[in-house]
Amino acid sequence: MCLSLDWNPHAPLNPGDPGLYFIECAASGAWPEIQRVFMKTCTKPKALWKHMGYYRMTPSESLSCEEFSTQPNIIKQTWANGILDKGWGCPVWTRIWLRRQNHREPSPEEVEEICSNNLRLAEIKKTLRWQEISEAYVRGDEELGVWCMKCVGYDVEFQHSLVDNVGSYKPPEPGKKRKHQAEQEDTEAISVAEGLRTRKSSKATGKGTKGDSRAANTRSKRRQPDSDQEDYSEADIEQDDSTVRRGSGPL
């Protein structure tokens, strides 16, 4: 897992620090495995990443409307643009568009129908701006989920290996990286559509209310736990020969 402060302003800043990880929908269930975490420390002249350790992820309450509103503008804009541009954000902005058109909370079936039609998605996307995405979170129509991060270990040998081999690291060619990134985003979009088509919605007593519909929709897509919002394949790992050992939990 590789994080940056533009996406996660409360991520760990030092090896072993606790932190918070944001996600585009409510956090729920159990994160399947311990995560090895890297943190971006700078972007220019080239990106540098710091090894933070092993982290256990625990779901927490989503940001409230007020909490989202008080986030720095760069955070709100980064998330809004990311949701609009990335394949995993498709269900979110589809719901936002449906609310604008119908003046009510959309059903899971309505979201599924649109997310399964690439031509329709392209037409709708042209009518949306990042400000509209951000405003949906400010109003509480959508919610930014939160995972608590607790350090449970630190791999000293791995850190030494990074330092020893940093000089021999060769990043991929820019053209190949862009092609891989585009293919990955296409795959994400297809996965979203297929997931929505195959998901079976349970019929709750309160179906039709805003809360029930939003809960069903927000859980229709979960980002893969070993990926993050950042593309870090061209970045170098920061030379930090730390020998800190944190925690005693499972690695």
- Is residue 250 a part of any domain in this protein? no
- Is residue 126 a part of any domain in this protein? yes
Calpha distance 77→138 (Å, rounded):
12
Residue 42, pLDDT score: 86
Contacts of 63 (CB under 8 A, 6+ apart): 22, 71, 137, 143, 144, 146
- Is residue 242 a part of any domain in this protein? no
Domain span holding position 169: 2-237
pTM: 0.68
Calpha distance 11→150 (Å, rounded):
11
Listed residue (243, 61, 249) closest to 151, CA to CA: 249
pLDDT digits (tens, 9 = 90+) for 186-199: 455 444 444 544 44
For residue 75, what are its two tokens? Answer: 């955070």
- Is residue 130 a part of any domain in this protein? yes
Please, are residues 108 and 94 in contact by the beta-carbon 8 Å criterion?
no
DSSP H helices, the chain, are: 65-69, 73-85, 90-102, 108-115, 118-125, 130-139, 156-165, 174-198, 210-218
- Is residue 75 a part of any domain in this protein? yes
Per-residue confidence in pLDDT tens, the chain, 251 aa: 999 999 999 999 999 999 999 999 999 988 989 999 999 988 888 888 999 999 999 999 999 999 999 999 999 999 999 999 998 999 999 999 999 999 999 999 999 999 999 999 999 999 999 999 999 999 999 999 999 999 999 999 998 998 888 778 777 776 655 555 555 554 554 444 445 444 444 444 444 444 444 444 444 444 443 444 443 333 343 444 333 333 333 33
Number of domains in the chain: 1
- Is residue 193 a part of any domain in this protein? yes
Listed residue (12, 72, 74, 64) closest to 37, CA to CA: 12
Residue 141: Cβ-neighbour burial (10 angstroms; 0-12, 13-18, 19+): middle
Contacts of 196 (CB under 8 A, 6+ apart): 91, 108, 111, 112, 115, 116, 220, 221
